Structure 1
Amino acid sequence: MSHTAHIPSHRKPRRSASKLAVRAGVAGGVLSTLAMAGTASASPSAEPVAETTLEMPVLNLDLGADVSSAVTVAAENTRLAAVEGELTAQEESARTGAAAEAKQAKEEAQKKADAEKAEKTAKEEAVRKAEAERSSRSSGSERTTLKSTAAPQGTGTVSAPASGSAAAIVNFARAQVGKAYVMGGTGPSSFDCSGLVQAAYRQAGISLPRMSQAQSSAGTSVSLSALEPGDILYWGSKGSAYHVAIYVGGGKFVGAQNPSTGIVERNLSYDKPTGAVRVL
């Protein structure tokens, strides 16, 4: 081996100066801190660290009064709402009741009107039916006989004896022969059956009811075999007659028969009446 060959050293390598300085500084700082701590703990005259306390602002509120007032207001609002709801319910109930009563009244009025209309129609139909039956009876030789024996129409004369009030009634009735029949007519150009009888009796100063039903109940009942001029003849039941006429004597009557014949003078056999009443 050469004498100049490198032989590794067994000594520890040297630490650099900078590293040693850093370590020394760290150690010194630690020792200084420990010393200060020991001094502080050993000194009895050390002053305690002052503590800082934050004070909250004081609110000057009367919470009890505010809560009581709020409760009172809420209770009053609740009461007012209940009252308003009750009034609304009562108004709605009143409107509903009024509407129901109005509807019921309207229905009752309509029923009454319908009933009156039906009754009037039935009466008119009964009159038309009776007049048609009377017209159908005059046929063949009977019609010829009636034409030959009928008194001249429109002359205003009386073939049977009559005097006083009876004469006034008969003369007026016969003077209307040939005029038109109109339902509800009371003269002077047209009549219905009861309108003619009422107008004739007015000539004698006697006031009669307007309708045939009431006229058939006026005065006293008389037999058809004992008739006198001026007696009222009726067809149907007494008190509910559907047709009336005036007996003019000689077995004849004058009456407003129907729209097709008008006011005519006929024999009793043409259409025999149900009964008669005497007012004079």
Structure 2
Amino acid sequence: MTVPTPPRVLTVAGSDSGGGAGIQADLKTMMALGVHGMSVIAAVTAQNSLGVQGYWELPPEAVRAQLDAVLGDIGAQAVKTGMLASPALVEVVADVLGAYGAPLVIDPVGVSKHGDSLLAPEAVDTIRTRLLPIATVVTPNLWEVEQLTSVKVEDEGDLRRAADAVLALGPTWALVKGGHLPGRPVDLLTDGVSEYRFDAERLDNRHTHGTGCTLASAIASWIARGEDVPGAVGRAKEYVTGAIAAGFPLGSGIGPVDHAWQWH
């Protein structure tokens, strides 16, 4: 009997020693959504529920070797990127993924849930000029929108202007996450022509570590499973909302979302 190979999704990101975000969150999400997750580790963090105590980039040649090993043999139906830390790592990832051509979901990680910087300031421009032009979907939060475009979002009415500024950098779709605005959280997805808004209840749960990583990985997983971008974002939002609702305390600070909530 031959068992069919599931869709394959690659994450290129940083390792979270606390298990709630980064590579660890990505792989848990992919397993929960029925795809085979693979990883290229770009940086290693020392972090826990209280914050990031430090991070160390891998050498660019180590990142390139991981990319070549996975894509050259196993292949991927979608790729997700997260923490890339430095201009050199962004350059390597953009070179390889631009040539490979799979759908690409970019989570432009700049800062952690606790406010710790995870991206060298000089890498922001490299993300703008090298990575975003090859992206299928980019998923910035409001702080990352401002970092990338200088557009400050004050209320829901600013979301489309922010998304258009992100689209001007080259991605096919922009998903601007409005969860940090007051009131009912709304995310806006647009390709410059079509526009979709995804809202959800604001959940009374502080344990939300890993939300951004989880959402981007869920979008990539659903794209690999054959959904178009609006369909993938809608299904990913449903999954993440459930994961946030089930987020649990861990350590002395902010706990993670529950990637396995559907199995309980």
Q: Which structure carries more relative contact order (alpha carbon 8 Å, separation 6+)?
A: 2
- Please identify which structure carries the higher helix content: 1
Normalising by structure 2, what TM-score?
Answer: 0.23
Higher strand share: 2
